[in-house]
Amino acid sequence: MEESRRYDVIIIGGGTAGLTAAIYAARAGLQTLILESGVYGGQIIPSPKVENFPGLPGISGAELAQRLYDQATQLGVQLQFEQATGLLTGDVQTVLTETGRWQAAAVILTAGTKNRPLGLENEGRLTGRGISYCATCDGAFYKNKTVAVIGGGNTALDDAETLAAICKQVYLIHRRDSFRGDAATVRRLQALKNITFMQPYTIAALEGEQTLTAVRLRHMQTNEEQRLPLDGLFVAIGQIPQNQPFSPPVELDDAGYIRAGEDCHTNLPGVFAAGDCRTKSVRQLVTAAADGAVAALAAAEYIRAHALHAR
């Protein structure tokens, strides 16, 4: 790598938000680099079918990621597979990586989140094949089928309510006797005939070869186990934002998300945040793409206002 090579914009993360930001930045005439630590495309890649991205019903996650990548690189965006390890801010933004450093007039953070996994054997293999982390994204695939949601917060409760309108039977699994989520939502769920509460239980094992067929539940007090046949399992035990390398100087909230509003501005001039890594109420593909566009245009405006173009 050329030491301290300078770009107009560096985007950290190559998911939907990052690739969209790159497309908009390149179209604004900015020399743009994406730093991606793993595989471009983000969490959507394992999804066999995406039904909620406007204009592209039925596309696979992998194909959607490839289309975004192709569009960005055809516009001249460069992608470097490197792990960002830190950020130094000032008149010039410096991104530290495992092999050196990159500089830019503006940085867009799109590091995203990781779904908190159950940590069970076969979980990775069955993800997208009966295991999902997004009821809004994948619930329609389980119409009139039997599913379970595991979790005790508002996300799990909302997922169970969403799925109850679609599925024949929904089991809500939680390891405690009480829920962390809103009591009003719990009462609504208790009134639904096709929701069964499984408390206090945890999932001890996942069963299935090609697809998920059942889970083994363990009672938290007696340790007794039982088998629960399922068509699908929705995991809603939290997300882990990937923002730690950038704080400080970037300000995070108590949950580790970057404090940035709908304008995607962080607490630092020239540093923007887009997608699931920022504070927001809705985390979907379409909102990640929208954030990417907003952040890129904000970065372009910042660069023009401060005459910081690299060329």
Residue 95 CB partners (closer than 8 Å, separation 6+): 10, 12, 35, 84, 86, 87, 101, 102, 103, 104, 107
8-state DSSP, 252 = B
* Residues shown for the chain: 311
Asked about 138 being catalytic, the answer comes back as yes
Q: Which of 8, 137, 159, 276 is catalytic?
A: 137
Asked about 264 being catalytic, the answer comes back as no
Q: Which of 8, 70, 134, 231 is catalytic?
A: 134
Cβ atoms 292, 20 nearer than 8 A: yes
Displacement of CA 152 from its chain's centroid (Å):
19
Could you give the C-alpha distances from 222 to 65, 179, 202, 219, in angstroms and in order? 45, 20, 12, 6
Residue 40 CB partners (closer than 8 Å, separation 6+): 14, 15, 18, 19, 34, 65, 69, 79
Asked about 134 being catalytic, the answer comes back as yes
Q: Which of 8, 91, 138, 159 is catalytic?
A: 138
Residues labelled as active-site residues: 134, 137-138
